[in-house]
Structure 1
Amino acid sequence: MTSIFIPRRRLLQGVAAAVALPSFGALAQTPARQLRIGKQKGLLSILKGRGTLEKRLAPLGVSLKWTEFTAGPVQLEALNVGSIDFGDVGEAPPIFAQAAGAPLAYVAATLQRPQSEAVLVPKGSAVKSVADLKGKKIALNKGSNVHYFIVKLAEKHGLAYSDLNLVYLPPADARAAFEKGSVDAWVIWDPFLAAAEKSLEARVLADATGVVGNRSYYFSSLDYAAKNADVLAIVTEEIGKIDAWGTANKSDLAAELATLWGLPKPVADLTVARAVYGTGPITKAILAEQQKIADTFFDLKLIPKRINVLEAAPAGIA
């Protein structure tokens, strides 16, 4: 047998290189951080359109991916399966998501804006009061903010939940049914609400004023929030800047949103005119509001178990 002699020094150098190379390769392949944002037709559209968030997060090595959703429940389904890390949503979807076991973490909350959701009826409808809705077909997106609104609106006007003939449809399908006359009323939020008022001459039977607060929430997953507090702090700071600018420049905000949404300027004007802008931290008082919603949905057997919303609270909540 022929033997091959390798000098000891060369052998040790080769071993050292073999040990060092995987370490260097692993370092080179360390993935940069990413923030996957799910958005609806709201102020996150402005952030995406302006590209300001990408600029703020670039020094941290964070890349962004944006996905648009038509409603909150599907956004939170995406969170549950690990497809997004952050998004904006109404009051009710987080309740359904938490009850379904989603790893939800509340990040921030908007001010209340009850005029931004309402019950619509066709302009010639014989329905003149909320009490007239008894037994009528009412379209809404199941598990969305308007679901809780219709529950509390019925209660305020002496109707039981069982008196409501709810037809669960996402916004686009609900509008089509409303136009055809397949449903008698539609419970919806802006800008879909404003679009129906302007283009269909739909009549507002009642909005949420004096019924529910209608906050929106920014959310993440518990794992992402724990590991990326710096990223989420920058996102909420940038949202706050848009809030402040939009409050002082409503016409300009409407013009920008109209372009981004692909909707007529009058629709955006109406949406912006009745909205209240402002984003703040999650507090125990705010989550107490969410707990009432959760308890209501459990009592109505709309969620399978009683939940404690504080389990989705951010660290250091006041």
Structure 2
Amino acid sequence: MTDLRQRHRAPLALVVLMLATLLSACSGAQATTATRTVPTPGPVSSADLAGVTLKVGDQKAGLQALLKASGQDKDLPYAVEWSTFTAGPPLLEAAASGAIDVGTVGNTPPIFAGAAKSPVSIVSASRGEGQGDAILVAKGSTATSLADLKGRTIAVTKGSSAHGHLLLALRKAGLQPSDVKISYVSPSDGYAALKNGAADAWAVWDPYTAAAEKEIGARILVSGVGIVNGLGFQVASNRSLADAGKNAAIADLVTRSARAYQWSASHPDEWARVYSSETGLSLDVTTVQAHRSIKRPITLDPEAIRSSQDLTDALASGGFIPASFDVSTIVDHRYDAAVAAVIGKA
């Protein structure tokens, strides 16, 4: 895990009114569920906010690069400490332990965290089409469908969005998880396994999908289109949500993130260039990712919760989590009004 320190200070008088208005909209909401209530604290002063260090979990070429590319990292009225994770599951573990306050993950990791009763909540969402979510086969593979992989090894990161995609794709194809050999690996090990033949297929997401296509000639056997819900989530530690200063900083970060997602959707080539610069991935790879895996901010609407519930039920029926549960119990709507204002649904 790599920690980076980033401090940007805004003219406080310019941000305190904005944040006070934002928190006023949020203060009437709280995550009331069948199992817990996370209190929503009130606004904080600009001086108190200036003393906050928000610990943000990220993944490869994730939110940090996106905020930089879109200009949304400028004039932050609090400090940010970034930590990079290989995938969503370890990021969720860090949030649960208090090592980070907030982070961005795919659609599946919060379900595993919820099943484990981790003290973490979903606080915002984005949606894509799932084109970059893929089950890949190696160059030269003769497989034309998932049925051709019966008895074969499929590499995937346990608890990741790709894990959910694999399960749903198998179900759609009329197969059981037991019909294939699932090998749990990190994304980097999955790449190597597909390249050297240790795995017959690899379930993964962009930019890893694009990198494998461009660098080793991998082919998409099954994309996530029509299978996955395309959701990405920002998740936060319940302890941080109950802290006035952290809550104010998260509210601001959620708003900036929504603006950044909107920017990337309308500026894919600019996003690809920054993405390449920040990660060292080739421009060919990042251009594919930027045009294919477009994410747009959404509120935590009933459809997002319903589709997440469907995935939860599928994971439970497949024995990947102990039992299904009500997904709404891990969703906190306090920032919905702020996101709605950004996307014009206020």
Same fold (TM over 0.5): yes
1:145 aligns with 2:186: no
Contiguous gaps of at least 5 residues in structure 1: 1-29
Q: Which residue of 1 aligns with 2:63?
A: 44
Change (3 A) 1:114 1:42: same
- Counterpart CA distance in 2 for 1:161 and 1:242 is 37
Change (3 A) 1:198 1:47: closer
TM-score (norm 1): 0.84
Aligned amino acid, residue 37 of structure 1 = V
Deviation at 1:46, TM superposition (A): 2.2
**What do residues 127-150 of structure 1 show as CA deviations (whole Å, max 9, x unaligned)?**
121210111100000111111111
2:228 to 212, 225, 228: 212
- Counterpart CA distance in 1 for 2:96 and 2:111 is 13
Deviation at 1:43, TM superposition (A): 4.3
Deviation at 1:163, TM superposition (A): 0.6
Aligned amino acid, residue 94 of structure 1 = P
- Counterpart CA distance in 1 for 2:250 and 2:201 is 39
1:193 aligns with 2:209: yes
Q: Contact 1:35–1:63 (CA<8 Å) still a contact in 2?
A: yes
The alignment yields a C-alpha RMSD, in angstroms, of 2.3
Alignment of 1:55-70 (within 5 A): 55-58=74-77, 62-70=78-86
1:88 aligns with 2:93: no
Q: Which residue of 2 aligns with 1:11?
A: none
- Counterpart CA distance in 2 for 1:272 and 1:50 is 12
Structure 1 residue runs of 4+, over 6 Å off? Answer: none
Greater shift after overlay, 102-111 or 39-48? 39-48
Aligned amino acid, residue 63 of structure 2 = L
- Greater radius of gyration (CA): 1
Q: Contact 2:129–2:230 (CA<8 Å) still a contact in 1?
A: yes
1:256 aligns with 2:274: yes
Q: Which residue of 2 aligns with 1:16?
A: none
Change (3 A) 1:255 1:300: same
Q: Which residue of 2 aligns with 1:23?
A: none
- Counterpart CA distance in 2 for 1:108 and 1:178 is 34
- Counterpart CA distance in 2 for 1:109 and 1:93 is 13
Q: Which residue of 2 aligns with 1:305?
A: 323
Greater shift after overlay, 174-183 or 292-301? 292-301
- Counterpart CA distance in 2 for 1:194 and 1:285 is 28
Deviation at 1:113, TM superposition (A): 2.5
Aligned amino acid, residue 307 of structure 1 = F
Aligned amino acid, residue 298 of structure 1 = A
Q: Larger % of helix: which?
A: 1
1:127 aligns with 2:143: yes
- Counterpart CA distance in 2 for 1:129 and 1:176 is 22
- Counterpart CA distance in 2 for 1:150 and 1:315 is 29
TM-score (norm 2): 0.78
- Counterpart CA distance in 2 for 1:290 and 1:157 is 20
Alignment of 1:203-282 (within 5 A): 203-227=219-243, 228-282=246-300
2:54 to 15, 29, 35: 35
Structure 1 counterpart SS, 2:131 = helix
Aligned amino acid, residue 235 of structure 1 = L
Q: How many residues align?
A: 288
Q: Which residue of 2 aligns with 1:18?
A: none
Greater shift after overlay, 301-310 or 166-175? 301-310
- Counterpart CA distance in 2 for 1:236 and 1:270 is 26
Structure 1 counterpart SS, 2:76 = helix
Change (3 A) 1:306 1:32: same
Q: Contact 1:113–1:276 (CA<8 Å) still a contact in 2?
A: yes
Change (3 A) 1:47 1:250: closer
**What do residues 249-306 of structure 1 show as CA deviations (whole Å, max 9, x unaligned)?**
2111100000111100000000011122311221233122212211211122211233
Aligned amino acid, residue 331 of structure 2 = A
Q: Contact 1:291–1:308 (CA<8 Å) still a contact in 2?
A: yes
**What do residues 168-202 of structure 1 show as CA deviations (whole Å, max 9, x unaligned)?**
00101111111110110011100011000000011
